[in-house]
Amino acid sequence: MRGIIVQAGSVLLLGSIASVGFAGGRYANPPVGLVEVQQSCTKALEAAQKGDTAAALESAKAARKTAVASYKEISTMPMEVGSSTTKKAIAALEANNTAEAITELQHCKEKLDSEVDYYKKEGKL
């Protein structure tokens, strides 16, 4: 009986600790380079849609470089999305797969646009 109570208590304690970790939400301040990554991602998307692979590749690499630097400083979801989607877009552009690159860049733009909008509404940008 005592063992069951200890186990139940352990489960409740661990559950409460775990739920704190998943409280979620955004950081109080936007990640460093958020607007720059958003703008570079948008430029890369526009260039890819126009068929200018070189310009799209250049902008995607700039976005990834900024996102990685910011993510190393403090890991945030927007910079993780920016880094991972631009990495996939760069690989697609280098493989001459513009359609896949456009899909990745659209995803990047949508996510970062929503983050920028949020921080603008909060008066942080």
Q: Could you report the per-residue pLDDT of 45-76, keeping only the tens digit for each?
A: 999 999 999 999 999 999 999 999 999 999 99
User: Looking at the domain assignment, is residue 3 inside a domain?
Assistant: no
Establish if 11 belongs to a structural domain: no
| Distance from C-alpha of 63 to C-alpha of 83, rounded to nearest angstrom | 8
Q: Is 98 part of a structural domain of the chain?
A: yes
Say if 20 falls within a structural domain.
Answer: no
Residue 49: closest CA among 109, 82, 108, 98: 98
Q: Kindly give, in sequence order, each residue whose CB lies less than 8 Å from that of residue 59, ignoring residues fewer than 6 positions away.
A: 40, 41, 43, 44, 47
Reported in sequence order, the residue ranges of 1-125 that DSSP labels E, i.e. its strands, are: none
40 located within any domain: yes
**Residue 20 binned pLDDT confidence (cut-offs 50, 70, 90):** very low
- The CATH number covering residue 90 comes to 1.20.120.660
The count of structural domains within the chain is 1
Mean of the per-residue pLDDT values for the chain? 88
Alpha carbons 62 and 55: distance in angstroms, whole number = 11
- Domain hosting residue 43, numbered range: 32-121
Token pair, residue 48, equals: 């890819």
